[in-house]
């Protein structure tokens, strides 16, 4: 039985990856942070929180000693590093914390692997945010990086550290450059889930209007459950490398809002421009979406669209779920949860 460590099991990807690895017969050590109240709703919703092969381990990635003990105590074969301060907007408000967790934290794990067992296979959750400002379309493994937030800069440090530990110490370190991936388990602060949760609430009469920021940002959105399979495939490859996971399709935030509105039974018409733009329901004439510049970022990533050719050709991975299907799935889950008051 192989031992896998997943840092950040309380997050979206951690929950789906744990489910996948348990299905594959792994013993899984999932790390969580000590907090004043527990945060296991995702693994509970997936029905794996009591699985006999799932072990929850208290851990903070900013602590080197704990990182060393984590690798020692778990006898890890594979480590999937998903832990991060992952919200771009917050990284502008807490740049130093983001740097310590999302950037330097990864060095702690790499050092722990180097010291305890350099044979451990290591997955680093890199991100399309590292491409940042548009330099090339679509973005692939060879596109130059131009990070546009403290989060993206921290991730780039971690990305290059993973490369450096591979080249310096022969550690099997891979970086998955994953484009945005969403699901009913997405955190509510991210724009897709904010939108699907809000439309569910509007439908149920619990909310009047959604306030959003930049509606023109374009993202390549895929389904998180499929992306964690890509992570696993990267660690089973013959040689370590970096791979882009993406759908090769891009849509604006406005498009996603229209799609989610439709899934909730509304038909949005857009009026006005920039910070005065509103989305009106055609049937009722009510304003359901309003732009609030409060949600604008100091620097924005305007357009992301990935080229997943390498991962398809080398590892046989491709995105299957369409954005329409994903959006429908998220809206339905949020209607169900808000009906019973069990939305997280």
Where do contacts with ligand GDR occur on this chain (CB under 6 A)?
86, 88-89, 127-129, 179-180, 189-191, 194, 212-214, 217, 219, 253, 295, 297, 300-301
Report CA 247 to chain centroid distance, whole Å: 14
- Name the β-bridge partners of 78: 4, 121
- Residue 277 interacts with, from ligand NDP, ligand GDR, none (CB under 5-8 Å by kind): none
Are the C-beta atoms of 42 and 15 separated by less than 8 Å?
Answer: yes
Q: In this complex, which beta carbon is closest to ligand GDR, that of residue 202 or of residue 212? A: 212
Q: How many CB atoms lie within 10 A of CB 265?
A: 13
User: Mask: binding to ligand NDP, 91-120, rule CB under 6 A, as x and -?
Assistant: ----------x-------------------
Report CA 252 to chain centroid distance, whole Å: 18
Helix intervals (H) in 82-180: 88-93, 95-98, 105-116, 150-169
Are the C-beta atoms of 138 and 307 separated by less than 8 Å?
Answer: yes
Q: In this complex, which beta carbon is closest to ligand NDP, that of residue 120 or of residue 185? A: 185
- Residue 11 interacts with, from ligand NDP, ligand GDR, none (CB under 5-8 Å by kind): ligand NDP
Q: Give the residue, chosen from 43, 120, 125, 231, that forms a contact with ligand NDP under the rule CB under 6 A.
A: 125
Q: Which residue out of 16, 26, 59, 151 is catalytically annotated? A: 151
Q: Give the residue, chosen from 67, 143, 162, 180, that forms a contact with ligand NDP under the rule CB under 6 A.
A: 180
Q: How far is the CB of 119 from ligand NDP (least distance, A)?
A: 23
Q: In this complex, which beta carbon is closest to ligand GDR, that of residue 166 or of residue 186? A: 186
Closest residue to ligand GDR: CB criterion: 217
What span, in angstroms and rounded, lies between the C-alpha atoms of 234 and 255?
Answer: 32
Q: Which residue out of 7, 98, 127, 162 is catalytically annotated? A: 127
What span, in angstroms and rounded, lies between the C-alpha atoms of 32 and 34?
Answer: 7
For the CA atoms of 39, 40, 45, 49, the dihedral, rounded to the nearest 10 degrees, stands at -170
Tell me if residue 129 is catalytic: yes
Tell me if residue 123 is catalytic: no
Q: In this complex, which beta carbon is closest to ligand NDP, that of residue 202 or of residue 334? A: 334
What span, in angstroms and rounded, lies between the C-alpha atoms of 210 and 17?
Answer: 31
What span, in angstroms and rounded, lies between the C-alpha atoms of 308 and 196?
Answer: 27
List of residues contacting ligand NDP (CB under 6 A)? 7-8, 10-14, 33, 35, 39, 59-62, 82-86, 101, 125, 127, 178, 180-181, 187
């Amino acid at each position: 039985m192989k031992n896998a460590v997943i840092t950040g099991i309380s997050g979206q990807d951690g929950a789906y990856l744990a489910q996948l690895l348990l299905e594959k017969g792994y013993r899984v050590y999932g790390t969580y942070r000590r907090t004043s109240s527990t945060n296991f709703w995702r693994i509970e919703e997936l029905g794996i929180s009591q699985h006999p092969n799932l072990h929850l381990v208290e851990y903070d990635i900013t602590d080197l000693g704990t990182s060393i003990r984590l690798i020692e105590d778990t006898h890890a074969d594979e480590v999937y590093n998903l832990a991060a301060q992952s919200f771009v907007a917050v990284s502008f408000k807490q740049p130093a914390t983001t740097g310590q967790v999302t950037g330097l934290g990864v060095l702690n794990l790499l050092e722990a692997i180097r010291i305890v067992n350099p044979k451990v296979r290591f997955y680093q959750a890199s991100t399309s945010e590292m491409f940042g400002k548009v330099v090339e379309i679509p973005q692939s493994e060879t596109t130059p990086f131009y990070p546009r937030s403290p989060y993206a800069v921290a991730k780039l440090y971690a990305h290059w550290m993973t490369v450096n530990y591979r080249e310096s110490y022969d550690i099997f370190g891979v970086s998955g450059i994953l484009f945005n991936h969403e699901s009913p388990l997405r955190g509510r602060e991210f724009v897709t889930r904010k939108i699907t949760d809000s439309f569910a609430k509007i439908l149920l009469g619990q909310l009047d209007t959604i306030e959003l920021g930049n509606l023109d940002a374009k993202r390549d959105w895929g389904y998180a459950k499929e992306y964690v399979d890509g992570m696993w495939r990267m660690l089973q490859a013959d040689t370590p490398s970096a791979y882009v996971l993406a759908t090769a399709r891009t849509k604006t935030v406005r498009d996603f809002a229209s799609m989610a509105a439709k899934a909730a039974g509304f038909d949005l018409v857009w009026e006005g421009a920039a910070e005065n733009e509103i989305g009106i329901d055609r049937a009722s004439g009510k304003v359901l979406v309003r732009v609030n510049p409060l949600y604008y970022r100091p620097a924005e990533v305007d357009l992301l669209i990935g080229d997943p050719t390498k991962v398809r050709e080398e590892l046989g991975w491709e995105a299957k779920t369409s954005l329409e299907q994903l959006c429908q799935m998220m809206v339905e889950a949020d209607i169900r949860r808000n009906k019973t008051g069990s939305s997280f």
